[in-house]
Amino acid sequence: MSRFLNVIPVADAVAEVIRISPSPVTETIPLESSVGRILAAEVTADSDIPGFDRSVVDGFAVRAADTAGAGDAIPALLHCTGRIAMGRQDTTGIFAPGTCTYIPTGGILPEGADAVVMVEYAEEAGDMVLVKRPVSYGENVLLYDEDFKKGECVFSSGRRISAQDAGVLAACGCAAVTVAKKPVVGIISTGNELIPVTGVPGPGQVRDANASMLAAYLTEYGCTPRIYGIIPDERQAFEAVLARAVPECDVVLLSGGSSKDDRDMTAAVIATMGEVLVHGIAIAPGKPTIIGRISDKPVFGLPGHPASAFVVLIAIVRPLIDRMLGVPHPIQRTEKATLSINIPSQRGRDEFVRVTLKNGTATPLFGKSGLLNTLVRSNGLIRIPAGAEGLEQGSTVEVILW
Amino acid sequence: MSRFLNVIPVADAVAEVIRISPSPVTETIPLESSVGRILAAEVTADSDIPGFDRSVVDGFAVRAADTAGAGDAIPALLHCTGRIAMGRQDTTGIFAPGTCTYIPTGGILPEGADAVVMVEYAEEAGDMVLVKRPVSYGENVLLYDEDFKKGECVFSSGRRISAQDAGVLAACGCAAVTVAKKPVVGIISTGNELIPVTGVPGPGQVRDANASMLAAYLTEYGCTPRIYGIIPDERQAFEAVLARAVPECDVVLLSGGSSKDDRDMTAAVIATMGEVLVHGIAIAPGKPTIIGRISDKPVFGLPGHPASAFVVLIAIVRPLIDRMLGVPHPIQRTEKATLSINIPSQRGRDEFVRVTLKNGTATPLFGKSGLLNTLVRSNGLIRIPAGAEGLEQGSTVEVILW
């Protein structure tokens, strides 16, 4: 195999990833476990909400016209006919002009009443109520179907269910929701230098950091990671684990081996079992990335260093996950910031630089790319596009937050 | 009971909440399930990282001095003595001047070598390698303990574990991590007007939206919600469910009943079984909130409407959860934005207004406070502090994002 890679632009790599993306799969789950999941179907209101004219305050149901001109000096004087109980229809007949009824928040407005005076602006005096402020038609009342009309679209497909959404889904009667199934992503660690987290590194050995990092990211992003452990740099071992992982997963990530031998082995095995589509992307860090496919399942060879693997995960793998989840935009948090200093960059490749973010200012963390401590000290990444020679001090950048 | 509440400022309510906050409890969990959890103890490096001088590129290990002045026209000519295998110490003896060795990314720098020339700048010619660029001391090498020194603090207590952190924890050998235990938060829905999500609302009835919303928020915020269902407005039912929930939970939220009767019942039962500390907060929406304590467990009476309950959850309950989790700052996402129009407000209470956020501009969503659809249409909340008469168009606001 050649010592040099046939590097393609990031946009072409992403297009390739989208081309081989498996179709989204859906499942129906209980509402109570749906927060953070992605709606896979439109949700409509199953009934009119509210299904009745509803008081939104504690007060007195009135005819608005009866309160016209009321004030502290000359209050409107209304005859109080009683109290409305929660969750019950008032059956005392038509609401007569000049009368009022105590109504709790959430109570059904009696027929004939058209507004509610808050208790704060009313004073009880025996059977009478003194109203000290006028109310207008519909004031302090949520009218029938004012919130949602039956059949109206409440949520579109592709929306990530927030806590508030869960409340609104409950209001709409969605005890079960149809969401995108969590993609199962296999994680295979490769490289003779790797030892498990529980091991004590001997000479030349490092602990497998990538598997934990990738699994954690995928968990937060709505996938189910499946860790296959560390595989030695032997062709048979590679083939055996891939033969097991490919049928069990929707996507497979090979990661951890940082040497060229390891990458060549990865590419050779993918080529034998399926096809290598991309080997080398114009991205820094992360150039030696492999994109392939075995039995119609996308298989990625990620670079060995965690910081590099993370950049490829965000820039190349995430668009695949987004597609499988059916989200129109990445779920990743970003924040606009001002760049504190110039960052030179090499044309012809997308470069990702770790930055710290403070009070709206992004400061690049220079230093050796192989350091883990810059992952801990930084808050996120900024991208310098392939066409730029760098970014200027004072320019606005978008920080992809950790 | 009085028809009016004894309202106290938000800051006083929060101080009361913090005063009665249970102490944080910790637990030790496997690294693979730790993402999003809060570190409850400092993490130090268990060994020097890396434990050897490590090449960060594929290339040739050299003495930097041998490459001085090298260029395309006059390359440095070095004798290649072989290849270094991954994860193995080179035992071929002292690295002689004028020689080089192929070294993979991650390989151990041989004794005597002090830099690595990238393959891109080297050309093999039989036993010789032509080096076309000079390297300086330590270039392309991660030096012994350069990342973390043994015993060095890697993470402080109170940090939320990100995906990157999970990778670094793995590198530090933390197969198990000590984190804050998830607070168990009981959710009791009250109110005769409420029906379960699976029900079909009859006259005056609404589905219980709060339990789903609160549970979803608490799940995302790192708590374990425990739903107790809907309790009718009867004193015995209240007492029975609280007698069950208080021992089973760390915190109990009573929510859903929106009427004054319901709130009075809540306060009366809390007062009988424990103590009511606050009844009424200068916050809009959310004024009729109750803070109490039963058997040293904080118990909250939240307002009935989801939008109001949500504001109280963020402004009043969250500081308690933050304390129990041991986080120095709220985990909630916020974003700075410019206000599109003036918002008038009433002095003397903290007011929370729903806004939509687009291209850095926050636009308030006016309309009746009881609407659910503004929860769906908005992106977050802004706070107008009690001392302000409003916020001016063009001012910078912090949006608490959904």
Per residue in A158-189, pLDDT tens?
A: 999 999 999 999 999 999 999 999 999 999 99
| pLDDT tens figures, A26-39 | 999 999 999 999 99
Interface test with A, best of B88, B259, B305, B352 (most A CBs within 10 A): B259
Q: Which of B164, B205, B306 sits opposite A375 (nearest CB)?
A: B164
Residue identified by tokens 């114009």 is: A282
Residues in chain B with CB shorter than 8 Å from the CB of A197 are 31, 170, 173-175
Q: Does A11 touch chain B (CB under 8 A)?
A: no
Q: Does A262 touch chain B (CB under 8 A)?
A: yes
Q: Does A47 touch chain B (CB under 8 A)?
A: yes
Query: What's residue A264's pLDDT?
Result: 86
Measured in whole angstroms, the distance separating CA A311 from the mean position of its chain's CA atoms is 19
Structure tokens at B153: 């603090």
| pLDDT tens figures, A9-59 | 999 999 999 999 999 999 999 999 999 999 999 999 999 999 999 998 889
Chain B nearest-CA distance from A336, in A, is: 9
Cβ contact, residue pair A162, B402, below 8 Å: yes
Cβ contact, residue pair A52, B203, below 8 Å: yes
Average confidence (pLDDT) over A251-280:
89
Structure tokens at A55: 């008081």
- B167, A209 Cβ separation under 8 angstroms: yes
Cβ contact, residue pair A198, B175, below 8 Å: yes
Q: In terms of CA atoms, which chain A residue is nearest residue B258?
A: A105
Q: Does B329 touch chain A (CB under 8 A)?
A: no
Average confidence (pLDDT) over A145-151:
94
Question: All domains of chain A, ordered by start, with CATH?
Answer: 10-25+182-325 (3.40.980.10), 27-45+156-180 (3.90.105.10), 54-142 (2.170.190.11), 334-401 (2.40.340.10)
Measured between alpha carbons, how far is B252 from B211 in angstroms, rounded to an integer? Answer: 12
Chain B nearest-CA distance from A105, in A, is: 5
Average confidence (pLDDT) over A267-293:
95
Average confidence (pLDDT) over A222-231:
97
Query: What's residue A177's pLDDT?
Result: 98
Residues in chain A with CB shorter than 8 Å from the CB of B147 are 370-373
- Report the predicted TM-score, pTM, of the whole model to 2 decimal places: 0.93
Interface of A with B in 224-243 (CB under 8 A): 227, 233
Structure tokens at A343: 């960052």
Query: What's residue A257's pLDDT?
Result: 66
Measured between alpha carbons, how far is A81 from A97 in angstroms, rounded to an integer? Answer: 11
Measured between alpha carbons, how far is A82 from A101 in angstroms, rounded to an integer? Answer: 5
Query: What's residue A94's pLDDT?
Result: 73
Query: What's residue B171's pLDDT?
Result: 95
Measured between alpha carbons, how far is A128 from A275 in angstroms, rounded to an integer? Answer: 85
Interface test with A, best of B121, B376, B396, B401 (most A CBs within 10 A): B376
ipTM of this complex:
0.92
Q: Within chain B, which residues score under 50 in pLDDT?
A: 1
What is the rounded average pLDDT for all residues in chain B? 93
Query: What's residue A385's pLDDT?
Result: 95
Residue A247's alpha-carbon distances to A295, A324, B381, in angstroms, are 8, 17, 45
Measured between alpha carbons, how far is B86 from A338 in angstroms, rounded to an integer? Answer: 42
**Residue A153 parent element (H or E):** strand A153-155
Cβ contact, residue pair B204, A306, below 8 Å: no
| pLDDT tens figures, B129-157 | 999 999 999 999 999 999 999 999 999 99
Structure tokens at A339: 């760049």
Average confidence (pLDDT) over A229-242:
94
Cβ contact, residue pair B258, A89, below 8 Å: no
| pLDDT tens figures, A71-88 | 999 999 999 999 988 877
- B101, B84 Cβ separation under 8 angstroms: yes
